[in-house]
C-alpha cells in the first residue's frame, strides 16, 4: 500500500507560509539564532484565542491548517505530532512566575499550555476532530516516529487522512542553556555561508511543518512517502553507510536510482563529517542539497527537510539557496533525505515522484 503526501504546510524562518515559488523570497540572516516568520494567524484562529496561545501552538496550528487546506481535507481522521521540546515559552513563563511570585497566585494557563501534547490537542479542538491524537517526544526521532505511526495507521486500512507534523521552538532560556554545551556558533555567521564554516557549532532554529498523508492521490499530490528508517547511535561511519544501503535495498533502490541527496548539514565541522563520508562512499557524483542553513538546527528539523523535498519534486528543480553540490537531473524522481541530530539520531526518508 502506497502512502502519499496530499498536503503540506510549513512555518519557518523563511517565508514558507505565503505560497509562491519554493524559497522564492529568500531571507538571509547573520545571527546565531533564527526565529520563524509569523504569518497572519487571524486567518485560522480567533483573535481572542490568539492572545492566550504560545508561539509553538500558533506555529503548529498555522502549519496544520495550511496542510489540510492544500489537501482539501476539512477534518483529518487522526492527528499525530512530534516535538522534542514542547511549548518551551509557556514553560519558561510559568517557572519565572513561580520564582517571582513565590509560588503564590499563579495563573494555570501557562502551565496547562506547557505540556508537549498541547499543540495536537489545540489543533483537534479548533477542527472538532475526535479521532486518534498522539504526540511523540523522542528527542531527534520525534517527527520520524510520528511519521512511522501515521504510516502504520494508514496501512491498517481503517483511516483515510492522517495529519502528522513536527515542531519545536527556541527561547532565550533554551538557547542560553544549549549554548553552554557548545552547540552553537560563538559569533554570528551569515546563513548562506554557514555550510562552509570552518568552526564548530551551528545556528539555532525553530519551526513547524505538517503533512496530510493518505493512501490515495489527491489533486495536489506530487510525492509518495516511499520509506522511512532510523538509526540510533551508530558506532562508526561504516554502520551508517551499511544502514543506508540496506534501506535502499528494502525499497528496491540503489544509490544510482537517487536523483538528489538532501542532507541536514548544519555548518558544524564535526557533525558534517558524516555527510561527507556518506556522499563520498555512496553518492560521489550525485547532486546534493541542504536545508538547515535555511531553518536552523532543532530536533524536528527533518520536518522542514521533508517539506523542502516535497517542494523540489513539485517544481522539479532545486532552489539555488538549497543547492550544495552538483546539478540535479532535469527529471527528479527520487529524493533521499538523510539527517542526523547531534550525531546520535540518524534518519532516512525516501520520496518518489507520483
Give residue 96's pLDDT.
Answer: 85
Residue 303 confidence (pLDDT)? 98
Rounded to whole angstroms, what are the CA distances from 219 to 223, 334, 354? 12, 20, 12
Residues 6+ apart with CB under 8 A from 43: none
Cell reading at 13: 524562518
Rounded mean pLDDT of 106-134? 90
What one-character DSSP code corresponds to residue 43? G
Determine the pLDDT at residue 93: 81
The per-residue pLDDT for 216 is: 96
pLDDT category at 115 given cuts 50, 70, 90 is: confident
Global pTM value? 0.96
Least confident of 65-69, 94-98, 147-151: 94-98
Model pLDDT for residues 157-192, shown as the tens digit of each residue? 999 999 999 999 999 989 999 999 999 999 999 999
Region 181-207 average pLDDT: 94
Tell me the percentage of the chain whose pLDDT exceeds 90.
87
Strands of the sheet containing 132-136, edge to edge, are: 132-136, 78-82, 161-168, 207-214, 4-11, 223-232, 345-353, 334-341, 260-263, 288-290, 323-325
Write down the pLDDT at residue 164: 98
Domains and CATH numbers, the chain: 4-214 (3.40.47.10), 223-353 (3.40.47.10)
pLDDT of residue 278: 97
DSSP 111-153: HHTTSTTHHHHHHHHHHT--SEEEEE--GGGHHHHHHHHHHHH
Check pLDDT > 90 for residue 65.
Answer: yes
pLDDT of 106 reads 79
Cβ atoms 255, 283 nearer than 8 A: yes
User: How far is Cα 335 from Cα 352, in angstroms, rounded to an integer?
Assistant: 7
Kindly report the average pLDDT of the chain as a whole number: 95
For residue 90, name the pLDDT band (cuts at 50, 70, 90).
confident
Amino acid at each position: 500500500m502506497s502512502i502519499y503526501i496530499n498536503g503540506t504546510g510549513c512555518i519557518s524562518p523563511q517565508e514558507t507560509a505565503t505560497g509562491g515559488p519554493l524559497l522564492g523570497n529568500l531571507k538571509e540572516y547573520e545571527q546565531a539564532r533564527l526565529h520563524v516568520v509569523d504569518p497572519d494567524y487571524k486567518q485560522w484562529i480567533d483573535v481572542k484565542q490568539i492572545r492566550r496561545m504560545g508561539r509553538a501552538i500558533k506555529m503548529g496550528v498555522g502549519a496544520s491548517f495550511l496542510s489540510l487546506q492544500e489537501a482539501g481535507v476539512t477534518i483529518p481522521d487522526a492527528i499525530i505530532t512530534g516535538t522534542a521540546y514542547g511549548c518551551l515559552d509557556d514553560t519558561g513563563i510559568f517557572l519565572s512566575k513561580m520564582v517571582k511570585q513565590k509560588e503564590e497566585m499563579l495563573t494555570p494557563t501557562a502551565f496547562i499550555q506547557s505540556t508537549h501534547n498541547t499543540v495536537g490537542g489545540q489543533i483537534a479542538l479548533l477542527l472538532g476532530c475526535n479521532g486518534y491524537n498522539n504526540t511523540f517526544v523522542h528527542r531527534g526521532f520525534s517527527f520520524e516516529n510520528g511519521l512511522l505511526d501515521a504510516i502504520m495507521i494508514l496501512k491498517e486500512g481503517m483511516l483515510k487522512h492522517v495529519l502528522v507534523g513536527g515542531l519545536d521552538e527556541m527561547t532565550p532560556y533554551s538557547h542560553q542553556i544549549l549554548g553552554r554545551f557548545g552547540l552553537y556558533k560563538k559569533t554570528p555567521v551569515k546563513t548562506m555561508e554557514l555550510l562552509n564554516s570552518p568552526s564548530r557549532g551551528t545556528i539555532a532554529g525553530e519551526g513547524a511543518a505538517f503533512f496530510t498523508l493518505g493512501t490515495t492521490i489527491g489533486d495536489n499530490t506530487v510525492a509518495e512517502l516511499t520509506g522511512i528508517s532510523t538509526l540510533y547511535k551508530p558506532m562508526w561511519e561504516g554502520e551508517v553507510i551499511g544502514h543506508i544501503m540496506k534501506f535502499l535495498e528494502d525499497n528496491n533502490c540503489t544509490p544510482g536510482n537517487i536523483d538528489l541527496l538532501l542532507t541536514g548539514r548544519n555548518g558544524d565541522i564535526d557533525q558534517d563529517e558524516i555527510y561527507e563520508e556518506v556522499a563520498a562512499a555512496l553518492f560521489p557524483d550525485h547532486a546534493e542539497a541542504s536545508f538547515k542553513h535555511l531553518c536552523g538546527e532543532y530536533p524536528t528539523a527533518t520536518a522542514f527537510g521533508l517539506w523542502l523535498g516535497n517542494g523540489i519534486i513539485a517544481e522539479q528543480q532545486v532552489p539555488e539557496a538549497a543547492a550544495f553540490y552538483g546539478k540535479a537531473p532535469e527529471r527528479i524522481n527520487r529524493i533521499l533525505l538523510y539527517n542526523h541530530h547531534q550525531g546520535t539520531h540518524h534518519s532516512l526518508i525516501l520520496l518518489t515522484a507520483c
